[in-house]
Amino acid sequence: MMRKTLLPSVLLLSLTACQNTNTQGLETTTVLQNDLPTTTSTDKYTNNITGDYVTDGYTKRNEGYDWFAISVRDAGQDAISVSIRSRIDKKKPTCTLDTVLHKAHDGRYQFWVDNNPVYLRFNDNSLSIEGEEAYLQKTAFYCSGGATLGGVYQKLSDTLDTQQLDNSQYATSLNYGDFSTQVTSTSDGNGGYVLKIQPIGEDIIERPISDPVVSADVGDMNGDGYPEILVFTQSVGSGSYGDVIAYSSNKGLSWSQVSYPELTDTLKQGYMGHDEFLLVENVLVRRYPLYLENDSNANPQGKTRQIQYRMIEGEASRQFVVDAVNEF
């Protein structure tokens, strides 16, 4: 039973922090992309590197050439959200990834593939994905047909043509040791979404969900040697209320959903949404800003509440229970 309290400083919601805590798998903090505008924009933090970048095949897309796009958006100070999509009208998508990247000390933006660093470097009108050749080859994990993400992408001055692109609301691939899974969310056409979790070599998990997926993670939360898959959703609107959908492996034979509790009345005090979730050292962490009586939704003035959960065997199913609460 885990009773350790993680210090708030350890739990900064950044890609760099996560990389050091989940050494068996790839950290893939991810965000909603398809509701964002596709035109290039100047933002507060990233000095106009935001926009859409494409491979050479884009200019010949109407001739049937394969291509894919990287959409870059501001994600806060020294951070960008990156969405990679490929054409889907001629064949299945070749490369798909959603993630948030943080700036490294040399100015490049870094992410990790199987604990190996790969970088995005921005030039005047292009970006390149670079790193040691062996590491770039590992980006094939996000692709099919032998493709990798390495190379140079040219920035568009016009609006990205999305008619041929994979239109999934969210997509990522996760691994933990020898275990790999794909997580996707697509619109159901009626205001909701269809979540699909495809553990490699196993049956697919498919279910309707109400809110868009913003991130997903994988780990072994009960120490039995088998993984748990966690999917984090967030409601659309000013509140941005978060929720957790989780599945636990039954010794590799099947999957069972893990119950996630609603906030108690005490934990709801000062709460107005804007949740952030993270899996740190196989501990589920939720944190959100606290609002004072006259605060607007866009400007909380209170502290931050951080809740740690552990997974236990309940009477009917596995479930998360609150393990520790901190405010800072």
For 174-231, how does the pLDDT look when each residue is reduced to its tens digit (9 = 90+)?
A: 889 899 999 999 888 888 999 999 999 999 999 999 999 988 999 999 999 999 999 9
Q: Confirm if 82 and 72 have CB atoms less than 8 A apart.
A: yes
82-91 mean pLDDT: 77
* pLDDT score for 92: 60
How many residues in the chain? 328
Burial (CB count <10 Å: 0-12, 13-18, 19+), residue 172: buried
Query: How crowded is residue 258: how many other Cβ atoms within 10 Å of its Cβ?
Result: 24
- How far apart are the C-alpha atoms of 156 and 237, rounded to whole Å? 29
Which of the pair, 79 or 91, is modelled with greater confidence?
Answer: 79
What is the rounded average pLDDT for all residues in the chain?
82
- Is residue 104 very low, low, confident or very high in pLDDT (cuts 50, 70, 90)? confident
> Does residue 162 surpass a pLDDT of 50?
yes
Q: What is the pLDDT of residues 12-71, one digit of tens each?
A: 333 333 333 333 333 333 333 333 333 334 445 556 899 999 999 999 988 888 888 999
- Is residue 102 very low, low, confident or very high in pLDDT (cuts 50, 70, 90)? confident
- Is residue 299 very low, low, confident or very high in pLDDT (cuts 50, 70, 90)? confident
> How open is the CA angle 208-214-220, to the nearest 5 degrees?
85
Q: Which residue, among 262, 153, 255, 166, has the nearest Cα to 206 in the 3D structure?
A: 255
Check: pTM over 0.85? Answer yes or no: no
Q: What is the pLDDT of residues 234-282, one digit of tens each?
A: 888 777 899 999 999 999 999 999 999 999 999 999 999 989 898 988 9
Q: Residue 326: phi, psi to the nearest 5?
A: -130, 150
* pLDDT score for 183: 92
Q: What is the pLDDT of residues 107-124, one digit of tens each?
A: 899 888 877 889 999 998
DSSP state of 137: H
In single-letter form, the type of residue at position 84 comes to I
Q: Which residue, among 143, 140, 165, 170, has the nearest Cα to 90 in the 3D structure?
A: 165
Residue with tokens 């494409």: 54
280-290 mean pLDDT: 93
- How far apart are the C-alpha atoms of 141 and 174, rounded to whole Å? 9
* pLDDT score for 46: 59
* pLDDT score for 45: 52
